[in-house]
Amino acid sequence: MNLLDIPSELLLLIGEELSAKDLTRFTITSRAVHSLLITRLYYLGAQPSETNHFPPLYWAVQHGHLPLIHGLLSKGANPNGPQYKCELVGCTGRHISTALHWATKSNNETVIKLLLEHGVSVNATDNHNATPVHWACGNSTIPILKLLVDQDADLSARDGDGDPPIAWAAEKGIPDVFEYMLSRGADIRAINNSGATLLHTVFLRGDKYIDKHAEVVRIMLTRNFDMLAHVDNRRDAALHLAARCGSLEAVKLMLDENLSQRLDVNMRGSDDSTPLYQASEGGELRMVEYLISKSADVNLPNSSGSTPLHTAAGSGRLEIVRALVDAGANVNAIRGPFTTVLYDAVFAKHVEVAELLLERGADVNGYLPLTTRKTHLHIAAGNSAMLRVLLKHGANINAKDNSGSTTLMYAASHPEGPEMCEILLEHGADVRARDNEGRKAWNRAHECGIHATKTVLEKYMDIWPARTGNSVDDMEEFIGSPTESWELESFFVVEEVDAQLAAAAQA
Q: In this predicted model, which residue has the larger pLDDT, 55 or 394? A: 394
Q: In this predicted model, which residue has the larger pLDDT, 64 or 237? A: 237
Q: In this predicted model, which residue has the larger pLDDT, 222 or 296? A: 296
pLDDT recorded at residue 93:
46
pLDDT recorded at residue 26:
59
Binning pLDDT at 50, 70 and 90, where does residue 43 land? low
Give me the percent of the chain exceeding a pLDDT of 90. 58
Average pLDDT over residues 300-327: 97
Binning pLDDT at 50, 70 and 90, where does residue 84 land? low
Q: In this predicted model, which residue has the larger pLDDT, 502 or 296? A: 296
pLDDT recorded at residue 189:
95
- Taking only the tens place, the pLDDT of each residue in 250-269 is 999 999 877 767 789 999 99
Res. 498: pLDDT tops 50:
no
pLDDT recorded at residue 495:
44
Q: In this predicted model, which residue has the larger pLDDT, 421 or 36? A: 421
Of 181-185, 294-298, 339-343, 484-488, give the lowest mean pLDDT range.
484-488
pLDDT recorded at residue 181:
97
Res. 487: pLDDT tops 50:
no
Measured between alpha carbons, how far is 495 from 167 in angstroms, rounded to an integer? Answer: 80
Q: In this predicted model, which residue has the larger pLDDT, 19 or 459? A: 459
pLDDT recorded at residue 56:
72
Give DSSP secondary structure letters for 55-114: -HHHHHHHHT-HHHHHHHHHTT--TTS-EEE-SSTT----EEE-HHHHHHHTT-HHHHHH
The closest of 460, 409, 467, 470 to 436, measured between CA atoms, is 409
Binning pLDDT at 50, 70 and 90, where does residue 71 land? confident
Binning pLDDT at 50, 70 and 90, where does residue 38 land? low
Q: In this predicted model, which residue has the larger pLDDT, 500 or 64? A: 64
CB atoms within 10 A of CB 183: 10
Res. 486: pLDDT tops 80:
no
Q: In this predicted model, which residue has the larger pLDDT, 331 or 89? A: 331
Average pLDDT over residues 168-173: 92
- What is the pLDDT of the chain when averaged over all its residues? 82
**Going by C-beta distance under 8 Å and a sequence separation of 6 or more, which residues neighbour residue 75?**
43, 45
Contact between residue 187 and residue 178 where contact means Cβ atoms under 8 Å apart:
no
Residue 305 phi/psi, 5-degree rounding, is 90, 5
Measured between alpha carbons, how far is 331 from 360 in angstroms, rounded to an integer? Answer: 7
Measured between alpha carbons, how far is 249 from 218 in angstroms, rounded to an integer? Answer: 10
Average pLDDT over residues 396-424: 95
pLDDT recorded at residue 65:
79
Res. 397: pLDDT tops 90:
yes
Res. 14: pLDDT tops 80:
no
Binning pLDDT at 50, 70 and 90, where does residue 2 land? low
Q: CA separation (Å) from 391 to 386, 422, 454?
A: 9, 13, 22
Domain residue limits, the chain = 1-78+96-120, 364-464
What is the CATH code of the structural domain delimited by 1-78+96-120?
Answer: 1.25.40.20
- Taking only the tens place, the pLDDT of each residue in 123-142 is 999 989 999 999 999 887 89
Q: Is 246 exposed, middle or buried (0-12, 13-18, 19+ CB in 10 A)?
A: buried
Give me the percent of the chain exceeding a pLDDT of 70. 75
Binning pLDDT at 50, 70 and 90, where does residue 87 land? very low
Helix (H) or strand (E) holding 334: strand 334-335
In sequence order, the β-bridge partners of residue 97 are: 83
- Domain 364-464 belongs to what topology? 1.25.40
pLDDT recorded at residue 42:
59
pLDDT recorded at residue 463:
38
Res. 461: pLDDT tops 50:
yes
Q: In this predicted model, which residue has the larger pLDDT, 327 or 492? A: 327
Q: In this predicted model, which residue has the larger pLDDT, 504 or 219? A: 219
